[in-house]
Amino acid sequence: MEHSLVLFQNEKQIFFSDEHWLYPLFEVEQFLGERSISPNELFLRDKIAGKAAAALIVKLGIRNCFIELLSERAIPVFKKYGVNYSYQKLVDHIQCRTEDLITDKMTLEETYLFLRKRAGKVQGVSLKINSLSVDIAGKQILDNLELDLGRGEQLVVQGENGSGKTTLIRSILGLIPSINGSITIGEEVVGSSGWQKNRVQTGYLNQETIKNNFPITAAEVVAIGLSSQKLPETERAYRVELAMRKTGSFHLMSKLFHQLSGGEKQRVSLARCLCQNARLLLLDEPTSYLDEKGREELYELLVDLSKNEAPTMLLVSHDSNWTDRLKWQGKILKGGKLW
């Protein structure tokens, strides 16, 4: 076999890739996403497949495949999801760190998201905070705070009122001018010229406190995410519509923002962040002014977002009942440090 992966439709070759690791399968995902092809008509030939590749093949909906070098760890996955497989050579495992990291407890969805993150196929960007100290009006709010968040990871920071949660968010946003230490988003240090250019990669969902009755429609609020981009009006409208559809707020498009319920406002604000194509999403007490229905809506949106676009998300809240349901990793902000 010349190529590392070949895809056939009814015995006719329709795609091939010479990439390595799991990238050919992600290419197949993109290829199929742009076409309407029944997975039952597909046959995949791959050079090597372990547990990770097997999970991806299942996720792609492919039912028939031939693998030259197959790991025994892939077989239970194929069997569980009814994939017809054949192979040239079977080995007990393949030399791949990714395969070792996939545990039996992980569901197919979790495995898929994990693989996307490892492949850099998520929207998220890394966030690294080194020795961050912030002093406001002579009071030490953050004290040598450290944080390392990988691409597409989610973190809930809890803490009592006044513990510095909002200060942490505002520092990451670059809204506090004098800080000690460094905050790096992706490759850019907050405050640098590179960060200024890429500032839009950080989205901000604040407490629902915008109470003014400024006549602005929900669609106009979402379009704020594109404020600094030069785009044709048709493209702008398309991106706004897309973001609003993703967050289920499309029907609110022409409604006045200040007339929306708390939950609807957060839905629209999330659409603004998506429209902005934010890769790091900072959520500051997003449930503060939400009723039970609004809290439920926001929960569903965040779960959905963490599975699909998967931006890196940092949420600060003192509402532990609500954040516990997200099942994100959690830290406590106390004494200016994260624990």
Partner 1 sequence: MVDLFTYPPVLKGFIVLIITGFAFPITGVYLLRMNLLPLRFMLMHGAILGGALSLAMSINPFGGTLVINLLLVLLMTWMSRSLKADPGQLSAFFMVVSISVAFIFIYRFQVPAKDTLSLMWGSLYTLNSFEFIGTLVFSLLLIIFQAQYRHQLRAVFFDSDVARTAGVNETGFYYGIILITAVTVAAAMKLIGALLLDALLLLPALIASYHAKSYKGMVLWSSFWGGLFATVGFLLSLAFDLPASSTIAVFAALVFLILILTQKK
Give me the residues that bind partner 1 (CB under 8 A), please.
173-175, 199-200, 202-204, 206, 210, 213-217, 220-221, 223-229, 254, 256, 272, 276
CB of 204 to partner 1, least distance (A): 4
CB of 178 to partner 1, least distance (A): 13
Tokens found for residue 205: 């969902």
Q: What are phi and psi of 330, to 5 degrees?
A: -130, 150
Nearer to partner 1, 45 or 165 (CB): 165
Q: What is the per-residue burial (b if ≥16 Cβ within 10 Å, else e) of 76-100?
A: ebbeeeebebebeeeeeebebebbe
Nearer to partner 1, 112 or 204 (CB): 204
Nearer to partner 1, 24 or 203 (CB): 203
Q: Which residue has the tokens 């039996």?
A: 104
Kindly list the strands in the beta sheet with 64-71, ordered across the sheet, starting from the edge strand earlier in the chain. 12-17, 5-9, 42-49, 64-71, 84-91
Nearer to partner 1, 174 or 248 (CB): 174
Nearer to partner 1, 96 or 185 (CB): 185
CB of 171 to partner 1, least distance (A): 13
CB of 200 to partner 1, least distance (A): 4
Nearer to partner 1, 30 or 229 (CB): 229
CA separation for the pair 105, 111 (Å, rounded): 10
Contact assessment for residue 97 and residue 78, using Cβ atoms and an 8 Å cutoff: no
CB of 87 to partner 1, least distance (A): 51
CB of 288 to partner 1, least distance (A): 16
Q: Which residue has the tokens 């497949």?
A: 49
Contact assessment for residue 202 and residue 280, using Cβ atoms and an 8 Å cutoff: yes
Q: Tell me the CA end-to-end span of the chain in Å, nearest whole number.
A: 52
Nearer to partner 1, 52 or 173 (CB): 173
CA separation for the pair 68, 70 (Å, rounded): 6
CB of 202 to partner 1, least distance (A): 6
CA separation for the pair 191, 211 (Å, rounded): 30
